[in-house]
């Protein structure tokens, strides 16, 4: 298989192994593709080379228990500055005043890290650590990694669930404090990642302030849960660049769980986390759906003074251009309205067109009396306007203290949608307990939704109770 074919399969990015005549082959690749390959590692007459042809967009959600150091880690990664041990770095991430006062994230916030072909961070000047203009950062980057900072407190679990399912992440970063170890919400977030089949890696923070015996106990508990029969993965420790390369080649297969221990205060191994983010490949092949009729799920909306109604979300299929007319819905009555796209922005920059796999904001002409809500979809006019009240799914109960019968009303999470649904039929009219599988018919409680066969769903009643797939 030639390099051009590999690049097409890797959506513009591959790590290629050169076995002999390294310099000669590098020169050949540079001339053939008109790009500069980045040598990651050399061992004798072999070299691992990063070849990146197009601008890559990668999404990673940051999960973990409250006070694990998620926002602090994100602040350190995006600013290049060290934390002072008292929450200096996380202040750059928090959106609300009460978050700054309590030190706890209660919303979904995100930041992007830009990397050039050599793996340098484009967010700030390397010498002065001064942050650069966002447009300049994007223009100078060959890869953009968007990190979604999610709430860790049990009180905000539904917000975290929304963030994980709506962002459609390629990977999850589960942050664990070396002092506190694995907590209840850490297990809950791992459970969600497993249910949605999102490969995850673990970052252990605060190693600078953790006694050796406590750190070893945390490592032991992590290994124990990873090797648990419900997970059955191999822990893999990252301590060098060679470990990063091995991880990037194997993590997407979801058989290993990389573990990297860092300090936000001393910056120990922070550079390895950045290298890992730079080299992780995109999991989903967006090229396969780029020529299909357009589809975009709305996960947020704004009323901008002087601009009007703005919808934002991930384009899951096709392409959307300025002046396109699309169907928006369903509303509470299951109706759709045709809307026109006035303008498009990606990362705050105006664009004429957005393709599948990108998150964008759309300024639309809003119809009076038509209520817009999260979970609605923008659909190409050639697609059927689906509005589902009832659906059938094959589900598995992960945990429930008693039994589940007809009439049970969990919250159903998928994509940007979270709504209560009532079980109106269970195959063979039986009761369901922990570990049971069954084909179940649900009925949404408040409004119809756009849901397709093959959609993965999560059943939640405060904590995650089950997972399933729509039939």
Domains located in the chain, CATH noted: 9-52 (no CATH), 56-284 (3.40.50.300), 287-379 (2.40.30.10), 390-470 (2.40.30.10)
pLDDT of residue 253 exceeding 80, the answer is: yes
pLDDT at 99: 59
pLDDT of residue 217 exceeding 90, the answer is: yes
pLDDT class of 98 with cuts at 50, 70, 90:
low
pLDDT of residue 226 exceeding 80, the answer is: yes
Q: Tokens 């697609």, residue?
A: 383
At 373-418, the pLDDT tens digits run 888 999 999 999 999 999 999 999 988 888 999 999 999 999 888 8
What the block records as the tokens of 405 is 């019968």
pLDDT at 246: 93
Q: Which long-range contacts (CB under 8 A, 24 or more apart) does 36-39 make?
A: 36/117, 38/117, 38/118, 38/119
pLDDT at 292: 95
pLDDT at 206: 93
pLDDT at 256: 94
Bridge partners of residue 148, in order along the sequence: 61, 110
pLDDT of residue 363 exceeding 90, the answer is: yes
pLDDT class of 100 with cuts at 50, 70, 90:
low
CA dihedral 289, 195, 146, 346 (to 10 degrees): 40
pLDDT at 394: 95
Higher per-residue pLDDT: 94 or 336: 336
At 133-144, the pLDDT tens digits run 888 998 899 999
pLDDT class of 103 with cuts at 50, 70, 90:
low
- At residue 121, φ and ψ (nearest 5 deg) are -75, 130
Bridge partners of residue 414, in order along the sequence: 417
pLDDT at 106: 64
Contact criterion met (CB below 8 Å) for 222 and 175: no
Contact criterion met (CB below 8 Å) for 164 and 221: no
Higher per-residue pLDDT: 258 or 98: 258
pLDDT of residue 1 exceeding 60, the answer is: no
Peptide bond into 191 cis (omega under 30): no
At 8-46, the pLDDT tens digits run 778 888 888 888 788 888 888 888 888 888 888 888 888
Percent of the chain having pLDDT more than 70? 97
pLDDT at 241: 93
pLDDT at 371: 87
pLDDT class of 176 with cuts at 50, 70, 90:
very high
Higher per-residue pLDDT: 89 or 232: 232
Mean pLDDT (the chain) is 89
pLDDT of residue 199 exceeding 90, the answer is: yes
Residue 293 burial (CB count, 10 A): 14
210 vs 188: CA distance, rounded Å: 24
Over residues 82-104, mean pLDDT: 70
What the block records as the tokens of 327 is 């169907």
At 242-251, the pLDDT tens digits run 999 999 999 9
Q: Residue 263: CB partners within 8 Å, gap ≥ 6?
A: 205, 206, 207, 208, 269, 270
- At residue 278, φ and ψ (nearest 5 deg) are -70, -35
pLDDT of residue 194 exceeding 90, the answer is: no
Contact criterion met (CB below 8 Å) for 48 and 41: yes
The closest alpha carbon to 126, from 238, 243, 274, belongs to 274
Bridge partners of residue 124, in order along the sequence: 131
pLDDT at 102: 63
At 442-466, the pLDDT tens digits run 999 999 999 999 999 999 887 778 8
pLDDT at 285: 83
Q: What is the pTM of this model?
A: 0.90
Q: Which of 48-62, 117-131, 324-338 has the highest mean pLDDT?
A: 324-338
Contact criterion met (CB below 8 Å) for 79 and 89: yes
Contact criterion met (CB below 8 Å) for 364 and 341: yes
pLDDT at 409: 94
What the block records as the tokens of 133 is 């203009």
pLDDT class of 87 with cuts at 50, 70, 90:
confident
Sheet hosting strand 171-177, strand order edge to edge: 109-115, 143-149, 56-63, 171-177, 200-205, 256-261, 234-237
pLDDT of residue 101 exceeding 60, the answer is: no
pLDDT class of 366 with cuts at 50, 70, 90:
confident
At 278-314, the pLDDT tens digits run 999 998 888 889 999 999 999 888 888 888 899 999 9
- At residue 416, φ and ψ (nearest 5 deg) are -95, 5
pLDDT of residue 51 exceeding 70, the answer is: yes
**Lowest-confidence segment of 161-170, 329-338, 390-399, 422-431 by average pLDDT:** 161-170
Give the burial class of 176: count Cβ atoms within 10 A of its Cβ; 0-12 exposed, 13-18 middle, 19 or more buried.
buried
pLDDT at 172: 95
């Amino acid at each position: 298989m030639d390099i051009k074919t590999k690049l097409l399969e890797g959506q513009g990015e591959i790590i290629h192994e050169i076995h002999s005549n390294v310099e000669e082959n590098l020169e050949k690749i540079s001339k053939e593709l008109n790009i500069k390959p980045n040598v990651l590692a050399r061992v004798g007459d072999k070299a691992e080379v990063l070849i990146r042809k197009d601008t890559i967009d990668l999404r990673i959600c940051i999960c973990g228990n409250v006070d694990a150091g998620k926002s602090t880690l994100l602040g350190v990664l995006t600013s290049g500055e060290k934390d002072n041990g008292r929450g200096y770095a996380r202040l750059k991430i928090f959106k609300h005043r009460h978050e700054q006062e309590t030190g706890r994230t209660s919303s979904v916030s995100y930041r992007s890290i830009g990397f050039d072909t050599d793996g340098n961070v484009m967010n700030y000047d390397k010498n002065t650590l001064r942050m650069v203009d966002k447009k300049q950062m994007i223009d100078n980057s060959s890869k953009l990694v968007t990190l979604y900072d999610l709430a860790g407190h049990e009180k905000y679990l539904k917000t975290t669930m929304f963030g994980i399912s709506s962002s459609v992440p390629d990977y999850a970063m589960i942050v664990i404090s070396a002092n506190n170890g694995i907590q209840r919400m850490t297990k809950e977030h791992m459970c969600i990642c497993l249910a949605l089949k999102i490969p995850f890696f673990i970052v252990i923070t605060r190693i600078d302030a953790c006694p050796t015996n406590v750190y070893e106990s945390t490592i032991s508990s992590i290994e124990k849960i990873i090797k648990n029969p419900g997970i059955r993965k191999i822990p893999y420790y990252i301590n060098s660049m060679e470990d990063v390369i091995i991880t990037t080649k194997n993590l997407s297969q979801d058989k290993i769980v990389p573990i990297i221990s860092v300090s936000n205060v001393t910056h120990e191994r922070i550079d390895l986390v950045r290298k890992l983010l730079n080299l992780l490949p995109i999991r989903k092949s967006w090229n396969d759906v780029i020529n299909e009729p357009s589809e975009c799920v709305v996960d947020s909306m704004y009323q901008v003074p002087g601009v009007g109604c703005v919808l934002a979300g991930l384009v899951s299929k096709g392409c959307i251009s300025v002046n396109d007319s699309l169907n928006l819905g369903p509303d509470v009555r299951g109706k759709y309205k045709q809307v026109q796209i006035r303008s498009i922005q990606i990362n705050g920059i105006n664009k004429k067109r957005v393709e599948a796999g990108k998150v964008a904001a759309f300024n639309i002409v809003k119809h009076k009396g038509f209520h817009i809500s999260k979970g609605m979809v923008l659909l190409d006019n050639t697609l059927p306007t689906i509005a589902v009240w009832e659906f059938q799914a094959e589900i598995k109960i992960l945990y429930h203290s008693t039994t589940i019968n007809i009439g049970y009303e969990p919250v159903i999470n998928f994509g940007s949608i979270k709504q209560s649904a009532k079980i109106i039929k269970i195959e063979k009219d039986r009761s369901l307990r922990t570990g049971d599988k069954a084909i179940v018919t649900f009925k949404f409680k408040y409004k119809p939704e756009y849901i397709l066969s093959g959609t993965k769903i999560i059943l939640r009643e405060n904590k995650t109770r089950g997972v399933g797939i729509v039939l």
